[in-house]
């Protein structure tokens, strides 16, 4: 197995902005190698403990981190939801993180509040991995999304990539845009006007050379896309439930709406889906989102191995 690049060892994973293209390339190469062991397992992290602290719901992110750690021969402790922990007795976030820091070698955190992972990294000596905080950062999902594109298309450079849905509140979108800015791609941002990415994100990625266009309809660009990444309207991040009702169901992708797409277009989605991605798409040759979710294990195996060994 390849030598771990020094740049990864002991590192926190808080935002995509902290990573360079060469870091991601090292991660992808190793993740590809880890695919062989994603079911079989191998003993690289025996004796190491990963703490998972999920203050917000999760299926894929938490379980793929846990599976990845176990496949590497390590152990997992932690919780999913504050029920049953001292958080219910009023323990502060900082104290909870301090305890996990004492018990484990790395901490994976998901939290409703933006900045929670960065704060945890300031409190903890062990590496902290952000598994999604607030509506801004979800770096390991972006790494997984980029890996899926790299694996399924054989490259990232030169592709035209559409991002569709709630581009404002979906943290996967912010992180993915920051990651895409490290590559030579063209991005089509397809959403209602008020769900366009935050200006700060757009300024950040365009300063790094990312070329993007704002679109309001998929059919304006569908035929030119190599990748279409769909996200859910983030109900829990809306302050006004009426506003949510107004947009849910708009920007829905069906097998029918994919007519006119390139033959080799791939459709991705971080999941969970609600109304925006119809089950009829599952049967098309374009669907890759379940494979994307499955890549979560080898990708996170590679990540844990790079950080912990
Ligand atoms: C995402 C999340 O939690 O941000 N899910 C995930 O990690 N795969 C996407 C979402 O909730 O819509």
pLDDT at 160: 98
Alpha carbon distance 136, 118 (integer Å): 12
Same domain membership, residue 156 and residue 245: yes
Q: Residue 188 in contact with residue 161, Cβ under 8 Å? A: yes
Alpha carbon distance 233, 170 (integer Å): 8
Same domain membership, residue 224 and residue 149: yes
Q: Is the pLDDT of residue 19 over 80?
A: yes
Among 59, 80, 134, 138, which residue has the most ligand 1 atoms within 8 Å of its CB, making it the best to mutate? 138
Same domain membership, residue 204 and residue 223: yes
- Helix, strand, or coil here: 239? coil
- Catalytic residue at 138? yes
Nearest protein Cα to ligand 1, atom 7 = 61
Q: What is the pLDDT of residues 50-67, one digit of tens each?
A: 999 999 999 999 999 999
Alpha carbon distance 262, 221 (integer Å): 11
Pocket of ligand 1 (CB under 6 A): 60-61, 132, 138, 141, 170-172, 231-232, 270-271
Ligand 1, closest atom to CA 138?
Answer: 4
- Catalytic residue at 61? yes
Q: How far is the CA of 287 from the centre of ligand 1 (A)?
A: 18
Alpha carbon distance 95, 104 (integer Å): 14
Same domain membership, residue 160 and residue 32: no
CATH number of 198's domain = 3.40.50.1370
Catalytic residue among 48, 61, 62, 172: 61
Query: Pick from 50, 15, 12, 292: which is nearest to 138 by CA?
Result: 15
Q: Is the C-alpha dihedral spanning 163, 168, 170, 171 positive or negative? A: positive
Average pLDDT on 103-108 reads: 98
Total tally of structural domains belonging to the chain:
2
Average pLDDT on 183-190 reads: 98
- Helix, strand, or coil here: 133? strand
Same domain membership, residue 302 and residue 168: no
- Catalytic residue at 60? yes
Range of the domain at 157: 139-293
84 Cβ contact list (under 8 Å, min separation 6) = none
Q: What is the pLDDT of residues 277-299, one digit of tens each?
A: 999 999 999 999 999 999 999 99
How confident is residue 204, by pLDDT bands cut at 50, 70 and 90?
Answer: very high
Q: Which residues are 148's β-sheet partners?
A: none
Same domain membership, residue 300 and residue 288: no
- Catalytic residue at 232? no
């Amino acid at each position: 197995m390849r030598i771990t690049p020094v740049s990864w060892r002991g590192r926190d994973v808080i935002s995509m902005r902290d990573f360079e293209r060469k870091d991601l390339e090292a991660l992808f190469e190793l993740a590809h190698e880890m695919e062989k062991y994603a079911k079989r397992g191998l003993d690289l992290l025996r004796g190491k403990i990963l703490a998972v602290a999920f203050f917000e719901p999760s299926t894929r992110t938490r379980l793929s981190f846990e599976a990845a750690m176990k496949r590497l021969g390590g152990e997992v402790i932690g919780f999913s939801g504050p029920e049953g922990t001292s958080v219910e007795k009023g323990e502060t976030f900082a104290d909870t993180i301090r305890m996990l820091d004492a018990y484990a070698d790395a901490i994976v955190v998901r939290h409703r509040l933006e900045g929670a992972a960065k704060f945890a990294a300031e409190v903890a000596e062990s590496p902290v991995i952000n598994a999604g905080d607030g509506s801004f950062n979800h770096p390991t999902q972006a790494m997984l999304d980029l890996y899926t594109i790299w694996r399924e298309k054989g490259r990232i450079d030169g592709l035209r990539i559409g991002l569709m849905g709630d581009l404002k509140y979906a943290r996967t979108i912010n992180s993915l845009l920051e990651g895409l800015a490290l590559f030579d791609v063209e991005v089509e941002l397809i959403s209602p006007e008020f769900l366009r990415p935050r200006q700060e994100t757009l300024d950040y990625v365009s300063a790094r050379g990312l070329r993007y266009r704002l679109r309001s309809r998929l059919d304006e660009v569908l035929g030119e896309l190599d990748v279409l990444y769909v996200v859910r309207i983030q109900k829990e991040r809306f302050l006004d439930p009426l506003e949510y009702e107004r947009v849910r169901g708009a920007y829905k992708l069906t097998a029918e709406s994919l007519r006119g797409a390139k033959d080799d277009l791939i459709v991705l989605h971080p999941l969970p889906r609600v109304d925006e991605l119809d089950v009829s798409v599952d049967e098309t040759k374009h669907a890759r989102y379940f494979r994307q979710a499955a890549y979560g294990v080898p990708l996170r195996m590679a990540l844990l191995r790079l950080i912990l060994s």
